């Protein structure tokens, strides 16, 4: 059981919190590169409970800084992005992308003290079509994480942003709960509906798999195990990576190049960021050649707005009950009655409340990965807080190369051996050596 104290530490991410401090040790995917243009409009950006603005200067450099001008705390969102910096419209003070004050327009030259004023600005880099922000205290930021999905050519990456109105942890935990797929997403699918050569048949034949879970240097790892009936085992491998990354198992292990981040905007809003290799194998699992019922291919969004929570909000939301189709639910066409797999997850995790009351839940053996991941997060965050111990995945950028998720069938009965075998056979679209074991 997660205690109230543990729940508080796990879910709170603002400045000065235990989990917030852990997350600030890592590079954070914050926005699409396309969201800010050179000398274009500043953008409000909520990240780890901090109100920031992001902008791109005349030279293409992205700035991410506290939205308050260091002079009188007016919001730089209303500032003028001009000639290499953002200028506050209140008194004309100007700051470059690093936060340096470059002009004090209302101060006589002999009284100028711009060299002593600095906006609170964070380091940024751009990779894989994303703007990444480092919010930690290090003078030299840690190395960029070498995940396969972040190193692909941009033309081979599909990126999806979706805002979720709940705490980051309960949103993430949907990704590390593999048995829910057999119910929430394919509960209406019968074994005879699935193609004989598609592994999803094992998920609907056996909706209560066995689990193997372990800690890793980067976080936690688990697999679901099901007998195929012919002597082999159907494995589904997945990972959690500190501080908010997941690698989900749905898809062939051989080329499942992806990564998903559950980035806390604040304690009650999360930005989901998904990266997927466009050349990964795809299949229509049903015997009639159709997709899973309710697996609508395109997610519809409300128009973006300029407020703190105005980005990537789905049309389906709590206010309209996620457009649930009760007739489809009744006739078992769509198990949930909700279209789009991501929105099925979203409806469930948002229905738990802004921050789930962990004292009300009763974890089961099928929740081993959730319990282990909470413990791993707490241990890492407390070790940083109490001893200054930085998780090894912060400074070992190659560690992520040892991660691959997906499903595979193997004659091997040991789950770690089956994983290692899959790694040796995996397609590697990025040419890099595996990190040392």
pLDDT digits (tens, 9 = 90+) for 110-121: 999 999 999 999
Helix and strand numbers (H, E) in the chain are 10, 18
**pLDDT 10s digits, 166-183:** 999 999 999 999 889 999
Whether the per-residue pLDDT at 374 is higher than 60: the answer is yes
* 322 lies in the same domain as 187: yes
* 265 lies in the same domain as 402: yes
Of 141, 157, 178, the last residue of a domain is: 141
Q: Is residue 229 part of a domain?
A: yes
Q: What is the CATH number of the domain that holds 137?
A: 2.102.10.10
Whether the per-residue pLDDT at 200 is higher than 90: the answer is no
Whether the per-residue pLDDT at 434 is higher than 60: the answer is no
pLDDT range class, residue 230, cuts 50, 70, 90: very high
At residue 375, φ and ψ (nearest 5 deg) are -65, -40
* 71 lies in the same domain as 192: no
Q: Is residue 350 part of a domain?
A: yes
Q: What is the CATH number of the domain that holds 314?
A: 3.90.380
Structural domains in the chain (count): 2
pLDDT range class, residue 25, cuts 50, 70, 90: very high
* 130 lies in the same domain as 154: no
Q: Is residue 418 part of a domain?
A: yes
Cβ-proximal residues to 224 (8 Å cutoff; 6+ apart), any chain: 178, 179, 209, 210, 211, 235, 236, 249
How do strand 233-241 and strand 62-66 relate by DSSP bridges?
Answer: unpaired
Q: What percent of the chain has pLDDT over 70?
A: 98
Q: Is residue 436 part of a domain?
A: no
Of 75, 106, 141, the last residue of a domain is: 141
Q: Whole-model pTM? A: 0.96
pLDDT range class, residue 432, cuts 50, 70, 90: low
8 A C-beta contact, residue 86 and residue 39 = no
What is the mean pLDDT of the segment spanning 244-257?
95
Q: Is residue 77 part of a domain?
A: yes
Enumerate the β-bridge partners of residue 164: 270
Q: Is residue 329 part of a domain?
A: yes
Q: Please, what's the b/e burial string for 48-78 (b: 16 or more CB within 10 A of its CB; e: otherwise)?
A: bbbebbbbbbeeebbbbbbbbbbbeebbbbe
* 107 lies in the same domain as 153: no
**pLDDT 10s digits, 34-61:** 999 999 999 999 999 999 999 999 999 9
* 214 lies in the same domain as 256: yes
Q: Which of 190-194, 335-339, 398-402 has the highest mean pLDDT?
A: 335-339
**pLDDT 10s digits, 293-330:** 888 778 999 999 999 999 999 999 999 999 999 999 99
Q: What percent of the chain has pLDDT over 90?
A: 90
CA distance linking residue 377 with residue 85, whole number of Å = 38
Whether the per-residue pLDDT at 192 is higher than 80: the answer is yes
Does the N-terminal peptide bond of residue 428 adopt cis geometry, omega within 30 degrees of 0?
A: no
The chain-wide mean pLDDT, for the chain, equals 95
* 330 lies in the same domain as 189: yes
Let me know the angle formed at the C-alpha of 322 by 316 and 327, rounded to the nearest 5 degrees: 130
* 219 lies in the same domain as 296: yes
Of 141, 171, 191, the last residue of a domain is: 141
CA distance linking residue 381 with residue 317, whole number of Å = 32
Containing domain of residue 59, as a range?
Answer: 27-141
* 105 lies in the same domain as 166: no
* 71 lies in the same domain as 208: no
H or E stretch at 347: helix 341-351
Q: Is residue 16 part of a domain?
A: no
| pLDDT at residue number 287 | 72
Q: Is residue 121 part of a domain?
A: yes
pLDDT range class, residue 435, cuts 50, 70, 90: very low
* 118 lies in the same domain as 228: no
What is the mean pLDDT of the segment spanning 223-238?
95
* 239 lies in the same domain as 115: no
| pLDDT at residue number 217 | 94
Q: How far is CA 337 from CA 12, 182, 288, in A?
A: 33, 15, 21
Contacts of range 223-230, beta carbons closer than 8 Å, 24 or more positions apart: 223/249, 223/415, 223/418, 223/419, 224/178, 224/179, 224/249, 225/415, 226/202, 228/202, 228/409
What is the mean pLDDT of the segment spanning 376-403?
96
Whether the per-residue pLDDT at 93 is higher than 80: the answer is yes
pLDDT range class, residue 433, cuts 50, 70, 90: low
pLDDT range class, residue 197, cuts 50, 70, 90: confident
């Amino acid at each position: 059981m997660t205690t109230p104290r543990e729940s508080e530490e796990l879910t709170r991410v603002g400045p000065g919190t235990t989990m917030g401090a852990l997350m600030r040790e890592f590079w954070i995917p914050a926005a699409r590169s396309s969201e800010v243009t050179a000398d274009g409009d500043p953008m409000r950006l909520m990240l780890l409970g901090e109100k920031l603005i992001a902008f791109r200067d005349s030279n293409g450099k992205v700035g991410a800084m506290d939205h308050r001008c260091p002079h009188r705390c007016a919001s730089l969102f209303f500032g003028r992005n001009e000639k290499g910096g953002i200028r506050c419209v209140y008194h004309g003070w100007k700051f470059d992308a690093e936060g340096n004050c470059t002009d004090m327009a209302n101060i006589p030259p002999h009284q100028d003290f711009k060299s002593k004023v600095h906006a609170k600005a964070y380091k940024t880099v751009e990779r894989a079509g994303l703007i990444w922000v480092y919010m930690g205290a290090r003078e030299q930021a840690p190395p960029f994480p070498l995940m396969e999905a972040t190193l692909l050519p941009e033309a081979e990456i599909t990126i999806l942003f979706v805002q979720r109105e709940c705490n980051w942890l309960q949103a993430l935990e949907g990704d590390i709960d593999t048995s829910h797929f057999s119910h929430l997403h394919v509960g209406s699918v019968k074994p005879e509906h699935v193609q004989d050569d598609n592994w999803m048949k094992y998920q609907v034949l056996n909706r209560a798999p066995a689990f193997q879970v372990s800690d890793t240097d980067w976080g936690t790892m688990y697999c679901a195990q099901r007998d195929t009936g012919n002597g082999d085992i159907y494995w589904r491998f997945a990972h959690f990576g500190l501080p908010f990354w997941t690698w989900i198992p749905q898809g062939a292990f051989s080329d499942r190049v992806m990564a998903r981040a559950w980035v806390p905007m604040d304690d009650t809003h999360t930005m989901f960021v998904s990266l997927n290799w466009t050349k990964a194998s795809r299949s229509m699992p049903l015997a009639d050649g159709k997709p899973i019922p309710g697996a609508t291919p395109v997610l519809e969004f409300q128009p973006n707005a300029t407020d703190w929570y105005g980005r990537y909000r789905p049309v389906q939301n709590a206010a309209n009950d996620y457009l649930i189709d009760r007739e489809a639910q009744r006739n078992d066409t769509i198990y949930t009655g909700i279209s789009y797999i991501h929105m099925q997850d979203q409806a469930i995790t948002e229905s738990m409340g802004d921050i789930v009351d962990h004292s009300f839940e009763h974890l089961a053996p099928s929740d081993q990965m959730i319990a282990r991941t909470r413990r791993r997060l707490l241990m890492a965050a407390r070790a940083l807080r109490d001893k200054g111990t930085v998780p090894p995945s912060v400074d070992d950028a190659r560690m992520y190369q040892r991660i691959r998720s997906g499903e595979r069938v193997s004659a091997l009965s040991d789950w770690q051996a089956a994983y290692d075998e899959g790694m040796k056979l995996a397609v590697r679209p990025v040419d890099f050596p595996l990190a040392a074991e």
